[in-house]
A and B are shown apart, each in its own frame.
Chain A
Amino acid sequence: MTIRRGRGVAAVNYPTGMNLGGDPSQALVHSTPTGNFMVTLSSVDLGQGLKQVMAQICAETIGVKTEQVIIDTADTDTGPHCMGTFASRGTHRIGNAVIQAAREARQVMLEVAAEALEVDAGDLDTDGDGNIHVKGAPQKSISIFDTALMAHFKLGRSISGRGMFLVPRSYPEVETGAMKPSTCYAHACTVAEVDVDDETGEVTVISMKNVFEIGRALNPKMVEQQLVGGSWMGISHALYETTEPYYPKRDHAGTDFNEYLMPGPGDIAPTEIIVLERPAEDGPYGAKGPGEMCANPQIPALANAIFDAVGVRIDMMPITPERILRALREKQAA
């Protein structure tokens, strides 16, 4: 029995948004009487933190603190249309809608403040800390709190905005397949290192080094949670997971988490994440959608590392110890 070490590389890209477009999302933003901001959506947070990133995008655009922004979402009676949370589209599509709505609301807010300060709205800026001031003259200022009160009770204005993002649908050309499938692409390159036991076929992932280019890390902590989780899922896809272990036969099908194989805590490799930022021209503050892409490169990187270690190619996912062992025996026999 020998433990053999190998490493492999893979490089990928991934489209942001529903392929071929036609995937709209809308957002509404309004201020409360005391200058907090409500973002109304019908988008769904799947646990990835969509609400948090939308709050930060709205806060950045209006010029307030994130904690002053409340996200009201996932209710078809109150929220405007969103196509859904899938296709790596949440941050990009909904984020762009929130920016547009927040810009419109910010413009009204500045117009109200301009009236209070008796200046031109174009001369005003926010300090990001709850105040609006004349550019170059920070002492001439009014709080957003007072601005909102004035809008509500004195001027009768609604500090609000509407946002919409739509990529027009593209239909593939029948003969050539010419089409515009996406607006921007995220990228990745992963190097996987493994030990393979040539007696049992078992694979131990020694390290997973991932480089991701995602446009812009709008919340680096949340980016990290998604990319690390994705990298683990890649390992899981490569080495463990299937509902039909002997596809196309339908026996041995897993029906719960005892039978459906996934890596346990001890099977998770040391994971390194490096993020590059090349802002997307059409992304919200440059962001692309890395949600799906981040679970892909680990699979071929592991397949290539296993070949590097023991010299057999497993061209069928998942790469189980049984398949490795059978390939090793076949190679020996040849």
Chain B
Amino acid sequence: MKLAKSYFADQRTDDLKELGQGLPRSDVPGHVTGKTTYFADRTFPGMLYLKMVRSPHHHARIRSVDLSDAEKHPGVHRILTHKDIPHNLYTILILIQVGPEDEHVLAEDKVRWKGEAVVAVLADSERAANEAAAKVKVDYEVLPDVLDIDSALAPGAPIVNEHHGQNYYMYDSGQSRKVRYGDVEKGFAEADHILEQTYYSSPIEQAPMETTGCIVTPDGNDRFTCYTNTQAMFFTLDNTSIILQMPGHKLHMVGGTVGGGFGGKVDVTVEPIAILAAKLTGRPVSFIYGRYEEMQISSPRAAEKIVLKDGVMKDGRIVARQVWGYTDAGAYSRHSPYGAQKGAAHYPGPYTIPNVWVDTWCVYTNRTPSSAMRGFGVTIADFALEVQMDKLARLIGMDPLEFRFINAYRDGDMKAHRQPTTGAALIECMQEASRVANWPIAEKYLEMSSYKEV
């Protein structure tokens, strides 16, 4: 790595003592010698293991659940159903007033994705829990499903989630989060060329080394300590408090070193049910996802569909950009209404375009609920935007890097969401990229600056 100190030198005083130093991390010797303790390194006498019985169907009505054989299985201690959960219907972002509650901790009358939790088996060993889970008999009536964005939005599509009533999230702005700036139709009318293209992605797993999980101990004083690898301690505590209708002071969350998160440990999926299990049994409880669950049950990055329509002039100026962004949330909201909204604020990318029109949708399908991942709401948008930039440059016969200079945002430029640009540095990054990659550009672009001209 090289620090390119010549850029923005007038904005820095290089007088730091402890910062700016590549000091070795204090936790690294523990990591590389295997001495660091992770939550799952703990064991407690009498610990029970929790295993979920999950839906084999994308969409089905539950006719009945028969626990009789499973309950008789040696080592089984208790089996939890939705009737045991004090506030079974929840949604994580209710803490910041983003509703409605739309997801059951344990399924009640329906399952809406393949893998949805139906009942929780608690046994003395993982093996006994797995064997007993296989003996739980659930009678399903399979329902028609929708597995992608287009079929979910088609007229007459089966409704994925009745708590929303339609297969998309209803924002205060309607069926999508909207950004309206300038007049795109006027921009398209002026443009020398118009290019409309559609981009797609499929779900991506956060793939942390350490799978999602927690271990809970009842502390004997009506408090519960939950050793967890959540990325957000109080977010987990407060959501657990709502789901279990248990005052927050009874809950004690202990984290520590997490073996990778990448957004996959922001949902609150394991802690509430494990704490409830510890409360109802009086025993320590371990609930840790296996690799299969981490890959297919834990929320991935959403699949997305992005349509970009641009109007561009022969001289390289983009005069209009229209965006339709669709996030495949799966069966439940989790963090997706927020992610789609974050996308709306991100468009049209780091470029100054006078006419911008953005609609971002959060769409429900009968798939594993998607949620946060590194680059939430932005990563796939950047893929679409920057491939589109390449296509536009080639369309007008211009060098793709020079084309970006013509449109790059600079200090003081108004963004589509009506905030003035401050602290811009795109131009300088591109200048340095041109130098380091030996990608020749015209001198006038090397002389540009992100600073506002006085």
Contacts and interface: CB of A to CB of B under 8 A. Distances in A.
A binds B: yes
Interface of A: 7-15, 19-20, 22, 42-47, 49, 51-52, 55-57, 59-60, 63, 65-67, 73-77, 79, 81-87, 128, 169, 172, 174-182, 184-185, 187-191, 209, 211-213, 215-224, 227-228, 233, 237, 241-245, 247-250, 253-257, 260, 262, 272-281, 285-286, 291-293, 295-297, 299-301, 303-304, 307, 313, 315-318
B245 interface: no
A76 B7 contact: no
A307 B401 CA distance: 15
A296 B382 contact: yes
A13 B349 contact: yes
Contact of B12 (A43, A73, A279, A303): A279
B1 interface: yes
Contacts of A244: 202-203, 303
B266 A66 contact: no
A76 B426 contact: no
A55 B376 CA distance: 28
Contacts of A65: 18
A261 B431 CA distance: 35
Interface in B206-260: 207, 230-235, 237, 251-260
B68 interface: no
A276 B432 contact: yes
Contacts of A181: 342, 345-346, 417, 419
By Cβ-Cβ distance, the 8 closest A-B pairs, closest first, are A84-B232, A74-B255, A300-B386, A177-B179, A221-B22, A247-B202, A248-B148, A181-B345
A218 B22 CA distance: 8
B372 interface: yes
Contact of A85 (B231, B422, B436, B450): B231
14 contacts: A9-B400, A9-B404, A172-B341, A185-B424, A187-B428, A191-B437, A216-B12, A219-B22, A221-B23, A241-B205, A243-B300, A248-B148, A299-B382, A316-B202
Nearest to B8: A278
B154 interface: no
Interface in B76-106: 96
A322 B13 CA distance: 52
Given A49-B25, A187-B429, A209-B436, 13 more contacts: A9-B433, A11-B350, A12-B382, A44-B230, A74-B255, A84-B230, A86-B266, A179-B345, A187-B425, A237-B204, A272-B436, A292-B378, A297-B386
A84 B417 CA distance: 26
Contacts of B16: 60, 285
A3 B42 CA distance: 52
B205 A260 contact: yes
Given A211-B429, A274-B432, A177 B383 contact: no
Given A11-B429, A191-B437, A174 B172 contact: yes
B436 A274 contact: yes
Given A191-B437, A275-B3, A313 B430 contact: no
A278 B7 contact: yes
Most chain-A Cβ atoms within 10 A of its Cβ — which of B31, B230, B345?
Answer: B345
Contacts of B342: 15, 19, 181
A114 B417 CA distance: 50
B20 A15 contact: no
Nearest to A90: B231
Nearest to A171: B172
Interface of A is mostly: loop
Given A177-B177, A242-B203, A315-B197, A280 B423 contact: yes
Nearest to A283: B423
B137 interface: no
Contacts of B409: 13
Contacts of A82: 232-234
Contacts of A273: 1-2
A44 B231 contact: yes
A72 B194 CA distance: 56
Given A177-B358, A209-B437, A317-B200, A276 B233 contact: no
B262 to A, nearest CB: 8
With most chain A CB atoms within 10 A of its CB, the pick from B147, B180, B261, B401 is B261
Contact of A219 (B23, B201, B423, B425): B23
A77 B233 CA distance: 11
B134 interface: no
A52 B437 contact: no
Nearest to B199: A315
A278 B205 CA distance: 33
Interface stretch (B59-67, B124-132, B279-287, B289-297): B289-297
A19 B345 contact: yes
B202 A242 contact: yes
Given A179-B345, A248-B303, A256 B291 contact: yes
A81 B401 CA distance: 44
B198 interface: yes
Contact of B377 (A19, A220, A224, A301): A19
